[in-house]
A = this chain, B = another copy of it.
């Protein structure tokens, strides 16, 4: 498995190593004749440039470091998908890590990524303290996804959770609902803005809010609904799709029909929501776009096109499916 080097190609093509380098980098200052000879020799030897040696010599990196807090979650997979698309488009490679939602493991993952001297770093919903992020940002460009920060040195990409929930509430209100409860995500990552958005939206319609403690799982949604059965609202805004699906199950088990008796809105527009069996009205977060924007932000910095930090706050959108309808019970 000893692979050929530039030297080998040069020897075979009867030119110098430097000329091979020029050809490999696609320089225009090489005669067509020599170029062809070099390319032929490279082909015959099965030569391909050594990315690490190249990066070392040129003091530039075509690598983007990505730390995912938890790949298990399909949300992140889609973001990575977007990152990869943009990176590939510009000849960059992704080097990937997971932090396992533990600050210690994330710190280690961070160090490991930095040891590759990446052109930039994408942190997906990291849980490490801001100080660690700041320190990383001294070494390379950093963009934070699904986590906000006031650090002047890092870019951020988030969705506007307040607005997203407001979309859901407005939708329900326009259908005629007035008793709308929110199943809250607790300590979950974007739970706070969503809760805030709910309270603000309800207030703006002059309605009485009702926040019910819950969590980002279907079991959590079911549990929360069971606590609500004595005094059921006509509509529920869940903190995410899983929670919403759990809520629907519990409602149906209790003999209620969705959306006839209770309307339910989710959040995230996971593939789950799109299933005909579920057909959940929900709020879409442009996850792929998160990745694309994050990669783009990094590439801009790499090219020196921008210095000031950028804060992307993406607009979520309402996807109306079959779990919302006008209320039939007295509002």
Which A residues lie at the B interface, using CB under 8 A? 1, 3, 46, 48-53, 55-56, 63, 66, 71-72, 74, 76-78, 80-81, 84, 88, 93-98, 109, 111-117, 135, 138-140, 218-219, 222, 242, 245-246, 248-249, 271-272, 275-278
Give the residues in chain B near A277, CB-CB below 8 Å. Answer: 218, 245-246, 248-249, 278
Closest-CB distance, A191 to chain B (whole angstroms): 20
A50 and B51 alpha carbons, distance in the complex (Å): 14
| Closest chain B residue to A54, Cβ basis | B115
- A95 touching B98 in the complex, CB below 8 Å, given contacts A53-B56, A74-B77, A246-B277: no
Contact call B97/A95, Cβ cutoff below 8 A = no
A277 nearest in chain B by CB position: B249
Contact A218-B96, Cβ < 8 Å, known A53-B56, A56-B52: no
Identical copies of this chain, number: 2
Q: Measured between C-beta atoms, what is the minimum distance from A131 to chain B in Å? A: 13
Given contacts A1-B138, A48-B115, contact A81 B98 (CB under 8 A): yes
Q: Chain B residues near A115: list those with CB within 8 A.
A: 48-51
> CA–CA, A115 to B114, complex, Å?
20
User: Which of A63, A139, A275 is packed against the most chain B CB atoms within 10 Å?
Assistant: A275
Chain B positions within 8 Å of A138 at CB level: 1, 46
Task: Give me 10 other A-B pairs in contact (C-beta within 8 A), A1-B139, A218-B277 excluded.
Answer: A49-B115, A51-B112, A52-B56, A53-B56, A88-B97, A94-B97, A95-B96, A218-B275, A249-B276, A272-B275
Contact of A98 among B1, B84, B97, B117 (CB under 8 A): B84
Q: Contact check, A3 vs B139: say whether CB atoms are below 8 A apart.
A: yes
The 9 closest A-B pairs by CB, nearest first: A77-B77, A51-B115, A52-B52, A249-B277, A96-B96, A71-B81, A74-B74, A51-B116, A249-B276
**Contact among B46, B78, B96, B276 with A94 in the assembled complex (CB-CB below 8 Å):** B96
